Amino acid sequence: MWAYEVQGFGWDALKRVERPRRALAEQEVRIRVRAAATNYRDLALLRGEYLPDMPRPYVPLSEGAGEVIEVGEGVDTLVPGQKVLGHYTSAWLEGPFQQMYHASKVGGPVDGWLAEEIILPASALLPMPEGWRFEEAAALAISGVTAWHALGDIKALAGRWVLIEGSGNVSLQALQQAAAAGAHPVVLTSRDDDERSRALREQGATAVIGPGSAADRREAILEASAGHGIDVALEVVGGRMLTELVLPVMATRGRVAIIGFLESDRVEGELVGPMLAKLLHLVGVSVGSRQHFEALLAFMVRYGLRPLIGGRYVPEAIREALSSSAPLGKSVILMP
Ligand SMILES: NC(=O)c1ccc[n+]([C@@H]2O[C@H](COP(=O)([O-])OP(=O)(O)OC[C@H]3O[C@@H](n4cnc5c(N)ncnc54)[C@H](OP(=O)(O)O)[C@@H]3O)[C@@H](O)[C@H]2O)c1
């Protein structure tokens, strides 16, 4: 079968190869991949900016969906022909996170979805919601589940102010979820682009705040929330964003989900003062469990949400799919 492997670091290390099929072990399932989707993680791993010590080669892409073609001994929950989507932290089924779960992440170190077939434990597969396309089912395992976990108790979000940074994978899914939950999402974008701002409003943003000085953006956030401030913030940028923009606009007892490091994983500035003054909660997020994923799918089905697809690519165009940030929505790879 064909697969792509990341054999080292950088674009030249991403190679199409032929791999032998291996027999299934107990509780394993073989899936014909129909669609896969990209995340910032794929790029960060390839460049060696994230987990440079992770063993290589590995098959990239953490999100995917397909059809069951074979089940191993002991699998009684899935049958050949069934349409499934994959859970990312494959060993984290429920309950609190444990360090050993890092080793079960699909798309490195566990082989991912950029291949003709993938083998995963049955417990890491969820039935596709009725009527969904493969490309939609493939677009959630990291970005959708991270957004869901980061937003916290979804039932408590109605009427709350949620700050979302940027219009990338995690942010866009958080926007859809928060809006469906009845929250007021405020989106910060680095783009001065009316069409994109309009599209973000269509996805449920109460306000979209473009580029500007930190002081102007803080004022715009507070104005958008009628002076209340932010109850829940999703921090994907890191660097100065947390101290200059997020902490100063938080409401008392607000929750800041620390998710990403697009600018930097180092924090500069005043952290302790605002945390004590406003009794803030800073929570680290590492995607989520199968239980989170199931709850997210049930929520999406209930509210008729589907992930927005921004670009469709063939496997050979993986470089373009990983590099593109122009369209709003997920970049998906459709398998031949
Ligand atoms: N902890 C976790 O569980 C977890 C899970 C998923 C992702 N992440 C992390 O979260 C971050 C976002 O991931 P993603 O997949 O959503 O990324 P992405 O799709 O590439 O989104 C990036 C978006 O962030 C905005 N942005 C704002 N400041 C930026 C900056 N300094 N550099 C680049 N982009 C900036 C941009 O939106 P505008 O163009 O609108 O400004 C951009 O489109 C990454 O650091 C990723 O590793 C963490």
Q: Which domain holds residue 149?
A: 145-284
Residues 257 and 310 in one domain: no
Output the CA 336–ligand 1 centroid distance in Å: 29
Could you tell me the two tokens for 82?
A: 């069934």
The one-letter amino acid code at 167 reads S
Q: Which atom of ligand 1 is nearest to the CA of 143?
A: 6
**Residue ID of nearest Cα to ligand 1 atom 22:** 168
| C-beta 260 within 6 A of ligand 1 | yes
- Note the pLDDT of residue 327: 83
Could you tell me the two tokens for 263?
A: 């600018």
- Note the pLDDT of residue 333: 98
Task: Tell me how many degrees the CA angle 212-215-216 measures, rounded to the nearest 5.
Answer: 45
* 3-class SS of residue 167: coil
| C-beta 168 within 6 A of ligand 1 | yes
| C-beta 142 within 6 A of ligand 1 | yes
Residues 136 and 66 in one domain: yes
Output the CA 40–ligand 1 centroid distance in Å: 7
pLDDT in tens, the chain (336 residues): 999 999 999 999 999 999 999 999 999 999 999 999 999 999 999 999 999 999 999 999 999 999 999 999 999 999 999 999 999 999 999 999 999 999 999 999 999 999 999 999 999 999 999 999 999 999 999 999 999 999 999 999 999 999 999 999 999 999 999 999 999 999 999 999 999 999 999 999 999 999 999 999 999 999 999 999 999 999 999 989 999 999 999 999 999 999 998 998 898 899 999 999 999 999 999 999 999 999 999 999 999 999 999 999 999 999 999 998 778 999 999 999
Residues 275 and 304 in one domain: no
Residues 7 and 88 in one domain: yes
The answer to whether the beta carbons of residues 49 and 40 sit under 8 Å apart is: no
Q: Can you tell me the distance from the alpha carbon of 55 to that of 7, in angstroms, rounded to the nearest whole number? A: 9
Residues 123 and 237 in one domain: no
| C-beta 97 within 6 A of ligand 1 | no
| C-beta 64 within 6 A of ligand 1 | no
Residues 277 and 179 in one domain: yes
Chain center to CA of 75: 28
Residues 297 and 185 in one domain: no
Output the CA 177–ligand 1 centroid distance in Å: 17
DSSP output for 234-275: EE-SBTTIIIIIIHHHEEEEEEEEE---SSBS---S--HHHH
Output the CA 263–ligand 1 centroid distance in Å: 9
Q: Can you tell me the distance from the alpha carbon of 169 to that of 100, in angstroms, rounded to the nearest whole number? A: 26
Residues 87 and 67 in one domain: yes
Output the CA 152–ligand 1 centroid distance in Å: 19
Residues 58 and 118 in one domain: yes
**Residue ID of nearest Cα to ligand 1 atom 9:** 260
Using alpha carbons, select from 140, 66, 106, 86 the residue that is nearest to residue 308. Answer: 140
Using alpha carbons, select from 101, 62, 76 the residue that is nearest to residue 289. Answer: 101
| C-beta 2 within 6 A of ligand 1 | no
Helix (H) or strand (E) run with residue 185 in it: strand 184-188
Residues 49 and 172 in one domain: no
- Note the pLDDT of residue 303: 97
Number of domains in the chain: 2
Maximum alpha-carbon separation in the chain: 61
- Note the pLDDT of residue 235: 97
Output the CA 143–ligand 1 centroid distance in Å: 10
- In the numeric block, the tokens 């509210």 are attached to 303
Residues 275 and 300 in one domain: no
| C-beta 147 within 6 A of ligand 1 | no
| C-beta 169 within 6 A of ligand 1 | yes
CA distances from 59 to 78, 165, 270, 290 (A): 24, 30, 41, 22
Could you give the dihedral angle defined by the CA atoms of residues 61, 65, 71 and 74, in that order, rounded to the nearest 10 degrees? 80
Using alpha carbons, select from 327, 328, 333 the residue that is nearest to residue 313. Answer: 333
Q: Can you tell me the distance from the alpha carbon of 322 to that of 318, in angstroms, rounded to the nearest whole number? A: 6
Residues 79 and 171 in one domain: no
**What CATH number does the domain containing 249 carry?**
3.90.180.10
